[in-house]
Structure 1
């Protein structure tokens, strides 16, 4: 369980520190766009009041999305108690940390601070994301690979 809690705390901290550094210290909230290594990496300010691609972006959905992140985190922690592989617990922790970091943004700002924009090979990506989103994606991929390592009961004919 320690691996889960440490990875959750780490993901949460890295995401929040990155947002403080880019959004506030580099003042992206006012500059709105900052080329870093165009077109591969551009800091592009976006406030996402909803879910992916702005779904459920109404003001009334804010607290529902915060509650959903907390409930999913609690359920995931409960489920991960049965994991025997450390990497599965780390993957679950990445999801928990990312989800709670985005929920924290919703409490503080009313929306999630997104600032990473990546494009490549002549394809322009209009969407921005943040490190919490990266941690959630990586954690989900990790759970697909390592989430269930207990042997399943043998089927009898």
Structure 2
């Protein structure tokens, strides 16, 4: 089971980094906004905080990168020990996303966000594929825990 999660983590990491380099080198060479649809734009936002721009006060480059790597290592250990396929998938998504954003911090000092969804003047904070993978992974983990078969208590 952990193999599936490890492959997914690697895939998320590669896709996340490839999409960010594509945005940086090809799409946003001179920083600008590209309107894709009436509710979705490609933008370039440098995020010194965590997912969706939270805690963006700056100054935490090494702390946040180190914390993300430490959490990813702990989750990989959990993934290797699990026998539940959906938990392995969830952990793979979170690990890949955490490592993708940690790599950004180590290379750029901040995270590259570029997906901008908006509706009626409200813009959700810009995010990236790593943020999406982390969010989906946490949701899958919660759903998996709801349906996990628990051993009957010994009374």
Structure-1-length-normalised TM-score: 0.87
Deviations 1:32-77 (A, max 9, x none): 3111112x21012110111243415322x11010111011111111
- 1:145 matched residue in structure 2: 143
**CA–CA separation in structure 1 for the residues paired with 2:128 and 2:58:** 20
User: Secondary structure of the equivalent of 1:44?
Assistant: strand
- 1:17 matched residue in structure 2: 18
**CA–CA separation in structure 1 for the residues paired with 2:72 and 2:145:** 15
User: Secondary structure of the equivalent of 2:123?
Assistant: coil
Deviation (angstroms), 1:91: 1.2
- 2:78 matched residue in structure 1: 79
Deviation (angstroms), 1:87: 2.3
- 1:98 pairs with 2:97: yes
Q: Structure 1 regions of 5+ residues with no counterpart? A: none
Deviation (angstroms), 1:4: 1.4
- 1:125 matched residue in structure 2: 123
Q: How many pairs align?
A: 153
Deviation (angstroms), 1:30: 2.2
User: Secondary structure of the equivalent of 2:73?
Assistant: helix
Q: Structure 2 regions of 5+ residues with no counterpart? A: none
Would you identify which runs of 4 or more consecutive aligned residues in structure 1 move more than 3 Å? 147-153
1:84–1:149: 8 Å Cα contact kept in structure 2? no
**CA–CA separation in structure 1 for the residues paired with 2:147 and 2:70:** 24
